[in-house]
Amino acid sequence: MASHIVGYPRMGPKRELKFALESFWDGKSSAEDLKKVAADLRSSIWKQMADAGTKYIPSNTFSYYDQVLDTTAMLGAVPPRYGWNGGEIGFDTYFSMARGNASVPAMEMTKWFDTNYHFIVPELGPEVKFAYSYHKAVNEYKEAKALGVDTVPVLVGPVSYLLLSKPAKGVEKSFSLLSLLGKILPIYKEVVCELKAAGASWIQFDEPTLVKDLDAHQLQAFTQAYSELESSLSGLNVIIETYFADVPAEAFETLTALKGVTGFGFDLVRGTKTLDLIRGGFPSGKYLFAGLVDGRNIWANDLDASLITLHALEGVVGKDKLVVSTSCSLLHTAVDLVNETKLDNELKSWLAFAAQKVVEVNALAKALAGHKDEAFFSTNAAAQASRKSSPRVTNEAVQKAAAALKGSDHRRATNVSARLDAQQKKLNLPILPTTTIGSFPQTIELRRVRREYKAKKISEGDYVKAIKEEINKVVKLQEELDIDVLVHGEPERNDMVEYFGEQLSGFAFTVNGWVQSYGSRCVKPPIIYGDVSRPKPMTVFWSTMAQSMTARPMKGMLTGPVTILNWSFVRNDQPRLPWPLRTKLRILKKLASMLFQIDEAALREGLPLRKSEEAFYLDWAVHSFRITNCGVEDTTQIHTHMCYSNFNDIIHSIIDMDADVITIENSRSDEKLLSVFREGVKYGAGIGPGVYDIHSPRIPSTEEIADRINKMLAVLETNILWVNPDCGLKTRKYAEVNPALKNMVAAAKLLRTQL
């Protein structure tokens, strides 16, 4: 019986790693304290997987920040600006690359494929001197071994590593990153040698880029890399793991022909065509790691259905070569259902988090080996049946309303230039208007108030009073800073998706269902289990209150439907793109003076991994967004905000969203957005490319911001440019936000006098 887990969440069931990291960063605990928490987490994870009967248990899937950054450290590819002088990379250099330090900003981060996990993008060029400088993979292998667990060390594969990198500053854009293969492989060989010496008998290379559209040259790099590694790998069993989609036919051919490889891992949940490929020709004698248990969602596996698939696969690859696995690393799902105290039993019976998925994988493997746990399977079958027939899942009114949507529900009647004129008459904003993206720092005190209200420890009256005070403070602060378009600061919101989900029906919430987003940052995606409806208004109360506190224009904050879906655990009993929350933005008379920002932070990240599927997704996303606001008056200005985006390839869809003002995260990827700006000029809408990075504690100077705005003005017309930070300020401290915003406003004012 053979079971395998691709990777496991690092944060711990109660985010132990997050708290240990943040306390270390704040100087409140020592490096030793942090290492101790990390080691305890690793050992409990290994033990748990071993106890469940897992045969192939991963190691080195733990990380203090990110597995791609770990690989950069392993290769010694530290950008020179961090002043590292060789030797084993320690926390100082490692966390400086991840988070920046007082004098140097962080490395860029970007989304890991179509997940909400972010990795630190390697910066490479011909000058980089690679050297084995971070022995984590070997150390973790030995650590597990000392605990009596023989693990499969996992490395980011060399080709995916290079394909996920970018040319360093000053390196020609046309520089072929793959040309560095010959330079990084010797380090991989060293690592492999050490692992062998330490006693490893298996190794896993994650090569998820194989699921993307790769050209012949890129595919050739895989052949080259693994041929070159072949002799070092001899004596080791090698798994090449792919995930997040099926592997295109040509890539499948390249992959399965790789030398020195023992087995291949495939995502059989999202890889809808992989089964056909495997049936069409799987190399004889090789292992198939069949990823049937979904690593990206929280639903219990349909074990009977999986078993049917597994039996079919047995017929293709042979009984002794079939290994039951997860579709991808469990990093992208919640940690342990055991800690969910607030979900009802029925709903809970429909779910499986990482810890439960490990058990499912092993239950399937045991069943395949002829030791089916009948009780476990029949409980699972009963839960599957109850979910299919539950009245909590289907809401007829919602389905009718969706069917009744008309063409005119999809587009505003007037074009954007005419709307902007009408809005400017009302708003009378200066050129280079300043604003922020919505949230203000969430202080410990504020979090406490929300927590106590939720736990019914303080009355509604006290809660409203406290939040009102907070809004008032934020409004006054913005007035003092002389910001033009104000926000209420979102103090009532724990999270931009959860807050809305809590007010909608068809959503469920976990207490500890955290998933790592980047570094110590985690998100707690709501679970959408049924047809979604909105029983009562969601933001009107706080918005009206905020507007009443100031004569300046107030921007109401809403999270858009695409983002809500992309940042939730969605249903797997209907297509992956259900028609989203159909509720339209209704602007009440008392809110008529306001502007609205509908955040579509996650629009880009939902983009399918294959070009052939993009058009369908984008069309769906654009229409979903437009339906929310097409009914508002011309004079109501609709902003949208998007995060971390490389927009070049989807600019037409962004324009098609038809928002009046688009604010985008830009500060870490300036040049990439130039073409977007140009398109923006043609389109006529306002554009606010973030003028400073809020993800770093660094405070930008007025000159630096002015310089950045000037660069934008070289491309953009003055009258469409907005000045704003690149995202919400929720995770920053007031000590950082106050001076940063002060400098931002000063920069805008300075430039106004020069234009």
Binding residues for 5-methyltetrahydropteroyltri-L-glutamate: 18, 116, 521-522, 567
Question: Pick the catalytic residue: 4, 488, 639, 695?
Answer: 695
Residue that is written with structure tokens 């009977």 in the block: 304
Number of residues that bind Zn ion (CB under 5 A): 3
Residue from 596, 664, 607, 662 nearest 630 by CA: 596
CA of 723: how far to CAs of 36, 245, 465, 639, 691, in Å? Answer: 44, 39, 32, 13, 7
Q: At what angle do helices 734-754 and 460-481 cross, to 10 degrees?
A: 40
- What is the smallest separation between the CB atom of 298 and Zn ion, expressed in angstroms? 25
Q: Minimum CB separation from Zn ion for residue 665, in Å?
A: 5
Q: Which of 728, 732, 743, 747 binds ligand GLN (CB under 6 A)?
A: 728
- Residue closer to Zn ion by CB (options 355, 497) is 497
Applying the rule CB under 5 A, the residues between 596 and 655 that interact with Zn ion are 601, 643
The CA–CA distances, whole Å, from 200 to 7, 51, 150, 156, 596 equal 17, 20, 7, 17, 57
Neighbours of 378 (CB within 10 A): 12
Query: Whole-number minimum distance, CB 711 to ligand GLN, in Å?
Result: 23
Q: How many CA atoms lie within 13 A of 143 on its CB side?
A: 23
Min dist CB 23 to ligand GLN, Å, is 24
Single out the residue of 439, 510, 539, 640 in contact with ligand GLN (rule: CB under 6 A).
439
**Minimum distance, C-beta of residue 688 to ligand GLN, in the bound complex (Å):** 12
Cβ 487 to ligand GLN, closest distance in Å?
8
Residue 301 or 559 having the CB closest to ligand GLN: 559
Nearest partner of 157 among 296, 246, 258, judged by Cα: 258
State which residue, 187 or 650, has the beta carbon closest to ligand GLN. Answer: 650
From the list 336, 270, 273, 337, the residue with the least C-alpha distance to 115 is 270
Residues in the chain: 755
Considering the complex, state which of residue 437 and residue 741 has its C-beta at the smaller distance from ligand GLN: 437
Torsion of CA 528, 530, 535, 536, to 10 degrees: 20
Residue set of the binding site for L-homocysteine: 599
Q: Which of 99, 296, 698, 730 touches ligand GLN by CB under 6 A? A: 730
Question: How far is 662 from 677, CA to CA, in rounded Å?
Answer: 11
d(C-alpha 556, C-alpha 562), whole Å: 18
Closest residue to ligand GLN, Cβ-based? 728
628 in contact with ligand GLN (CB under 6 A)? no
Write down the least CB distance from residue 585 to ligand GLN, Å.
Answer: 15
From residue 369, how far is each of 57, 246, 373 by CA, in Å? Answer: 19, 27, 11
Give the residue with the Cβ less far from ligand GLN, 180 or 437.
Answer: 437
Of 339-347, 448-456, 478-486, 725-733, which segment contacts ligand GLN by CB under 6 A?
725-733
Q: Does 599 bind ligand GLN (CB under 6 A)?
A: yes
Binding mask 555-594 for ligand GLN (x = CB under 6 A): --x-------------------------------------
Binding segment for ligand GLN (CB under 6 A), chosen from 118-126, 283-291, 311-319, 726-734, is 726-734
Q: Is 466 in the site for Zn ion (CB under 5 A)?
A: no
* Rounded distance between C-alpha atoms, residue 139 and residue 7, angstroms: 17
Whole-angstrom Cα distance, residue 585 to residue 618?
21
Contacts of 62 (CB under 8 A, 6+ apart): 10, 38, 41, 42, 45, 140
Joined together, the tokens standing for residue 323 give 């290994």
The CA distance from 718 to 731, in Å, is: 31
Q: For every residue of 491-557, which 3-state class applies, written as one string?
A: CCCCCCCHHHHCCCEEEECCCCCCEEEECCEEECCCEEEEEEECCCCCCHHHHHHHHHCCCCCEEEE
Question: Among 601, 661, 720, 744, which residue interacts with ligand GLN (rule: CB under 6 A)?
Answer: 601
What Rg value do the Cα atoms of the chain yield, rounded? 26
User: 214 vs 727, which CB is nearer to Zn ion?
Assistant: 727
Q: Is 311 a residue of the active site?
A: no
Q: Which of 121, 727, 737, 745 binds Zn ion (CB under 5 A)?
A: 727
Q: How far is the CB of 63 from ligand GLN (least distance, A)?
A: 23
What's the maximum distance between 2 C-alpha atoms anywhere in the chain?
79
Q: Which residues touch 19 (CB under 8 Å, ≥6 apart)?
A: none
Q: Are strands 166-167 and 287-293 parallel, antiparallel or unpaired?
A: unpaired
Residue with tokens 């490319």: 689
> Closest distance between ligand GLN and the C-beta of residue 665, in Å?
8
- What x-and-dash track marks residues 491-530 binding ligand GLN by CB under 6 A? -----x----------------------------------
Among 296, 488, 555, 641, binds ligand GLN (CB under 6 A): 641
CA 532 to chain centroid, in Å, comes to: 23
Residue 34 interacting entry, from Zn ion, ligand GLN, none, C-beta within 5 to 8 Å by type: none
Query: Which of the choices ligand GLN, Zn ion, none does residue 496 contact, using the CB cut-off of 5 to 8 A by kind?
Result: ligand GLN
List the single partner that 438 binds among ligand GLN, Zn ion, none, CB under 5 to 8 Å by kind.
Answer: ligand GLN
Binding residues for Zn(2+): 641, 643, 652, 656, 665, 727
| Site size toward ligand GLN, by CB under 6 A | 13
- Name the binder of 298 from ligand GLN, Zn ion, none, CB < 5-8 A by kind: none
Residue pair 154/42 in contact by the 8 Å Cβ criterion:
no
Closest of 659, 594, 593, 674 to residue 621, by C-alpha: 659
The nearer residue to Zn ion, 727 or 745, going by C-beta atoms, is 727
User: Which partner from the list Zn ion, ligand GLN, none does 685 bind, CB cut-off 5 to 8 Å by kind?
Assistant: none
User: Is the Cα torsion angle 508, 514, 517, 523 positive or negative in sign?
Assistant: positive
Contact characters 409-438, ligand GLN, x per CB under 6 A? ----------------------------xx
List the beta strands (DSSP E) in 674-717: 686-689
Nearest CB to ligand GLN, comparing residues 503 and 505: 503
CB of 488 to ligand GLN, least distance (A): 10
> Which residue number, 546 or 603, has a Cβ lying nearer to Zn ion?
603
**Nearest Cα to 262, choosing from 276, 243, 283?**
283
Instruction: From the list Zn ion, ligand GLN, none, pick the one residue 449 interacts with, judged by a Cβ distance below 5 to 8 Å according to partner type.
Output: none
CA separation for the pair 21, 64 (Å, rounded): 8
Binding-site positions read: 18, 116, 437-439, 490, 521-522, 567, 599, 641, 643, 652, 656, 665, 727
Look at residue 693 and give the partner it binds from Zn ion, ligand GLN, none, a contact being a CB closer than 5 to 8 Å depending on partner kind.
none
- Which residue in the set 449, 581, 727, 751 belongs to the binding site for ligand GLN (CB under 6 A)? 727
Binding site for Zn ion (CB under 5 A): 601, 643, 727
Binding site for ligand GLN (CB under 6 A): 437-439, 490, 496, 557, 599, 601, 641, 643, 727-728, 730
Positions marked active-site: 695
